[in-house]
Amino acid sequence: MKPPKKLIVCALILFLVIFYFHKKNKYTDNETGNMPNAISVSANEGRKLPTAAERKEEIAPTADELRKMVETPVEFYGQILDQHNNPVEGAKIRCSWVYISPTQSPIEVSTESGGRFEIKGLKAISISILVYPPAGYRVPQVDPEKLNDYIQIADPPERIQKHQRYGALPPTVKSMLFIAEAYKPDKNTPKIFRVEKIGLSDALYERKLVNYNKNNNGSALWFSLKKGSEGKSDRPVDEYSFEYSFYLNESEREANKKDWKSNKQWSWGLKIKVPGGGIQVVPGDHSLSRPEEVFKGNEIAPEIGYQEEIIFDFPKDIDASRWKDRMQTGCFIRFKDGTYARIVINAHEDLVSVQSYFNPTGSNNLKFDYSKRIKE
């Protein structure tokens, strides 16, 4: 008696499935299912490839390697400077390190002449430096993390560095070794930490722009924070100029004036651009602040976080809670040559005004003292 055709077909299908998976397992990593590269297929045939756990063990430091890294002598040189690059004496430095034992305490030193300090006499994979400013100085308001820095002292084995370069280091190893390049001690080139001297002010340019929005079609204008003059060409007045353009939909605004009870919105906006440099807005709502209060207690320009242009856009169809018929805000500016300024912008349908303070020295200190203003 012949077997049914259906049974024969099912058996054939089962045989093909078994054969397929047998061949697949023969040429793949049983742990991950990944095909080995084509060159090594024949060489690995019949040999089990390393599992994920085995590969992780290969690039994790051995006990001897870890002990060697922990025993790396620390030789660290630092210097504390204020916002004018003047050395600061009397600052306290607290140093702790990875694998500190219960019987050890963090090391504390003070800056000496020239604002310099040294950390020696201990062994560690990495150290943490925390700076406490002396009286008359404060932690930078812009970037306080700069006074708390982690320094990698030990070089991991070349085997692990190779995996670092290719991004293959497991998280457990990453938490043990800071991936940054190890610190190279150089007494003549100490690592710089910055504090701010309280109440210190520079000689600044004070300038003011008042434009009654004769050009409200979005065409570009320029204003120099050094000369205090305005330009209408496609070129800046000087290297300390920013570009601004104001636009307003006249027909929408006139419709609002004719039917003011309906409280209709109109489209308008302002764009500010610093070619080759950048601008960033001071956080907070300053629409009701007096101009002199916008930067109160925040007169040190940030060193990072700038973008080349900012657009303040108020289209007529946005939510009424976000739409404004006027705006006031503060911005920090960084020019292409690394000099800093701060401005207060006030804009509405009939006017754009800018109050500016520009420091030509390269310092990011923008605290203004009227008696020190530059009168050029």
User: What would the pLDDT profile of 9-57 be if each residue is shown by its tens digit?
Assistant: 566 666 665 655 554 444 444 444 443 333 333 334 444 555 555 555 5
Alpha-helical (H) ranges within 35-157 are 41-44, 52-59, 63-70
- Cβ proximity of 220 and 233 under 8 Å: no
The three-class DSSP label of residue 12 is helix
pLDDT at 113: 86
pLDDT at 186: 92
pLDDT at 222: 92
- Say how far apart CA 356 and CA 120 lie, in whole Å: 47
Retrieve residue 269's tokens: 């906006």
pLDDT at 167: 52
- Cβ proximity of 87 and 101 under 8 Å: no
pLDDT at 46: 45
**CA 285 vs CA 130, 203, 281, 318: distances in Å:** 33, 28, 11, 19
- Say how far apart CA 243 and CA 220 lie, in whole Å: 6
- Say how far apart CA 97 and CA 99 lie, in whole Å: 6
- Say how far apart CA 175 and CA 106 lie, in whole Å: 21
Residue showing tokens 């009227």: 370
- Say how far apart CA 7 and CA 20 lie, in whole Å: 20
CA-wise closest residue to 154 among 184, 129, 121, 175: 184
- Say how far apart CA 153 and CA 360 lie, in whole Å: 38
pTM: 0.53
- Cβ proximity of 57 and 171 under 8 Å: no
pLDDT at 80: 93
- Say how far apart CA 89 and CA 91 lie, in whole Å: 6
In this structure, which amino acid lies at residue 90?
G
- Say how far apart CA 118 and CA 128 lie, in whole Å: 13
pLDDT at 47: 45
The 3-class secondary structure across 248-281, one letter per residue, is ECHHHHHHHHHCHHHCCCCCEEEEEECCCCEEEE
pLDDT at 35: 36
By the 10 Å C-beta count (0-12 exposed, 13-18 middle, 19+ buried), 348 is classed as: middle
Percent of the chain at pLDDT > 90 equals 29
Retrieve residue 200's tokens: 């210190």
**Regions of the chain where pLDDT drops below 50:** 23-47, 142-145, 166, 173-175, 178-180
pLDDT at 119: 92
- Inter-helix orientation angle 52-59/158-165, to 10°: 120
- Cβ proximity of 165 and 336 under 8 Å: no
CA-wise closest residue to 357 among 231, 240, 245: 240
Residue 283's φ and ψ, nearest 5 degrees, are -60, 150
Q: What is the DSSP letter of 2?
A: P
Retrieve residue 170's tokens: 């497991």
Residue showing tokens 């061949």: 23
